[in-house]
């Protein structure tokens, strides 16, 4: 069962524009959601998280929005930079336990 889905395998954006990465989940018991970024030959690195009791969390150029009724979240990157080119994973967690990841979205930021 795929509890976390990232339906867009890839996204291409011009430098300076907004990148929007989407994520859907099915497990209503998730109480936190996290986004990770992964460069080739490196492990995933934590980017930003959001609690299920909030609908927005912002950290610099990165903002995560949560629509709990739709079981949907999105990561906005503004402005996008070439160094943001990476694979982005969405993950959900239930009561501080393991992370359940989506399949990832490859983001390419063109200069």
Partner 1 sequence: DTGVSQDPRHKITKRGQNVTFRCDPISEHNRLYWYRQTLGQGPEFLTYFQNEAQLEKSRLLSDRFSAERPKGSFSTLEIQRTEQGDSAMYLCASSLSSGRAGANVLTFGAGSRLTVL
Site for partner 1, rule CB under 8 A: 4, 6, 9, 31-32, 34, 36, 41-46, 49, 51, 89, 91, 93, 95-104
Distance CA(73)–CA(22), nearest Å, equals 6
Nearer to partner 1, 20 or 106 (CB): 106
Distance CA(62)–CA(81), nearest Å, equals 12
Nearer to partner 1, 60 or 98 (CB): 98
Shortest Å distance, C-beta 102 to partner 1: 5
Nearer to partner 1, 74 or 79 (CB): 74
**If DSSP codes are grouped into helix, strand and coil, which group holds residue 72?**
strand
Q: Which residues pair with 108 in a beta bridge?
A: 12
Both structure tokens of 111 = 């200069």
Shortest Å distance, C-beta 98 to partner 1: 5
Instruction: Look at the block and give the residue holding tokens 């995933």.
Output: 44
């Amino acid at each position: 069962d795929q509890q976390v889905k990232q339906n867009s395998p890839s996204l291409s954006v011009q430098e300076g524009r907004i990148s929007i990465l989407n994520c859907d989940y099915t497990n209503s018991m998730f109480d936190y959601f996290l986004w990770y970024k992964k460069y080739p030959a490196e492990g995933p690195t934590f980017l930003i998280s959001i609690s299920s009791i909030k609908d927005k969390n912002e950290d610099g150029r990165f903002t995560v929005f949560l629509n709990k009724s739709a079981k949907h979240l999105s990561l906005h990157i503004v402005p996008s930079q070439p160094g943001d080119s990476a694979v982005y994973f969405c993950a959900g967690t239930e009561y501080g336990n393991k992370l359940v990841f989506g399949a990832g979205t490859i983001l390419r930021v063109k200069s």
